Amino acid sequence: MTASNEQPGVDPSVWLKAGQGMMQGMFEFVSRQQEMLKQAGIQIAPLEAATADSEPLVKLQQEIAEQHARLWSGLVNRKPGEAYTPVIPAEADRRFAAPAWAESPVFDYLRQAYLINASFLTRAADVLPVADKQAKGRLQFLMRQYVEAMSPANYAATNPEFVKQAVESKGESITRGILNIIADLEKGRIAMTDESAFEVGRNLAVTPGAVVFENELIQLIQYAPQTEKVCKVPLLIVPPCINKYYILDLQPENSFVQYAVSQGITTYLVSWRNPKQEQGRLGWDDYIEHGVLEAIETVQEISKCPKPNILGFCVGGTLTSSALAVAAAKAELPVESLTLLTTLLDFEEPGDLACFVDEGSVATRENTIGKGGLLAGRELSSVFSALRPNDLIWNYVVDKYLKGNAPPAFDLLYWNSDSTNLPGPFAAWYLRNMYLENNLRVPGRLQMCGVPVDLGRVDCPTYIFATREDHIVPWHSSYLGRKLLGGETTFVLGASGHIAGVINPAAKNRRSYWVGENSTAVADEWLASAEERRGSWWPHWMEWLKARSGSLVAAPKRPGAGRFKVIEPAPGRYVKEPA
């Protein structure tokens, strides 16, 4: 050792041994958790077994020990004001991007040690010899929850930004943070945006239209034409019933509905009711019969078009495909074309939501709400937030509670917090038959509305859109729908995630999307030959839709027709009902 490289009395081997000891303790901790994991359905081979499966864990153990040794050596040898190369760069992680993290060796050490440990735990969950794929997915998900919760950025004592802001504001930021906590406790949830900035019908869901039909489950909105001529074949949109429809009609500049209407498409939309206790008896068949199929029949009668185009988004796409399979079982094909946005038909790889679904949890739902009752919107909202804890939980804990900041006004986050209930029988049936048993992909296995269904009999052109970073509907799984449907399919892959990838306005023309003619059954092979195009996918879809929308005719002069009168202006009562 030389004075230029080491401080007297500091032997890196000591820290290497300390790191190894820490890792041994970590492995012992994991071993003690095996019984708990087994009870949760996660089977892990003994960690001490000297098998090929354990070799990656041994390598990870050695790697993390060496990283901690280098980190400590860099810390104790660091001179005041001297920069050094971090063991794991933190610049790309926005949690640690503030200069305050690098200005203090203590906080710099905390973030570096966290990143090393987080990397180890995440990679260890990937290589642990778990018995089956579903259990491994649950383990990886739970590990991500733990890792992200333990970030030093989440806690006052280990966040230098909290300390700095508290000092500079003379404690006012702490006071504001406490007030933010109290306000959210009164709401029973984390408020992610300035909710006073938005109101449905005032500056959200404002595309002009009217409710022309309603029953216990839905209102049907017909939007006012914005062009003198419109396509003869109208479009019916079926949004997810798990969220409110105005994700497709936020504000004029990012409204999917507004875009469709402005392109000369007469557009109708299903507005699902936010169920209360009296709707707690409704099941999957009710949503098909009195939701999708009744909406199709109404559009047919008002427009005098025997086959409108139809679009389903997320679970709205699953419901729509199921409804068309019910119609096909009766030798009917009531639509000209089908568009599916981020939709699962084959649930073999259903994404992170599968971590919440197993036999025990589904049986519990069936026993408690399966014959009547509600799956509360607040519970659904918590589940979806847990899928992206850094973005939808900890980000707000830090910014609102530690720093005392007020959240900005953001329409998408307002919608995200406007939760919906689900009828218990619907939720229980959906979880068992889709997520747990994956029955929809098997012809004839499921009966809906009294008939056996086969997606292969849905013989119409289909446009399938998925997004590359979707954690709710993985695009590879969405792609599997191509082999289940009977008609020709066009598959398009968008950049970004489940919502941002879909709501990509043509006017802003951001991101990109991939198109390809290859109809191979393997998703990655399709992508390898696909062409990337810059900008929004909306114009590509519109070109596809107009080719199936008939000739131009005079726009309807008024909403409704015959027995279908205007009930109230859009957006209607149902979308305004709170959970």
Active site residues: 314
How far is the CA of 75 from the CAs of 14, 70, 85, in angstroms? Answer: 14, 9, 11
- The residue type at 421: N
Q: Which long-range contacts (CB under 8 A, 24 or more apart) does 8-16 make?
A: 10/73, 10/76, 10/77, 12/69, 12/72, 12/73, 15/68, 15/69, 15/72, 15/73, 16/65, 16/66, 16/69
Q: Is residue 390 classed as helix, strand or coil in its secondary structure? A: helix
Q: Is 222 exposed, middle or buried (0-12, 13-18, 19+ CB in 10 A)?
A: buried
Q: For residue 550, what are its two tokens?
A: 């008939």
- The residue type at 185: L
Burial 384-397 (b: 16+ CB within 10 A, else e): bbbbbbbebbbbbb
DSSP calls for 64-113: HHHHHHHHHHHHHTPPTT-----SS--TT-GGG-STHHHHSHHHHHHHHH
Q: Is residue 260 classed as helix, strand or coil in its secondary structure? A: helix
Q: Which helix (H) or strand (E) holds 540?
A: helix 538-546
CB proximity list for 62: less than 8 A, separation 6 or greater: none
CB proximity list for 550: less than 8 A, separation 6 or greater: 231, 232, 233
Task: Give the largest Cα separation in the chain, rounded.
Answer: 94
Q: Which among 356, 361, 343, 348 has a CA at the least distance from the CA of 386?
A: 356
CB proximity list for 97: less than 8 A, separation 6 or greater: 90, 91
Q: Helices in 304-338 by DSSP H: which ranges?
A: 315-329
270: β partners: 220
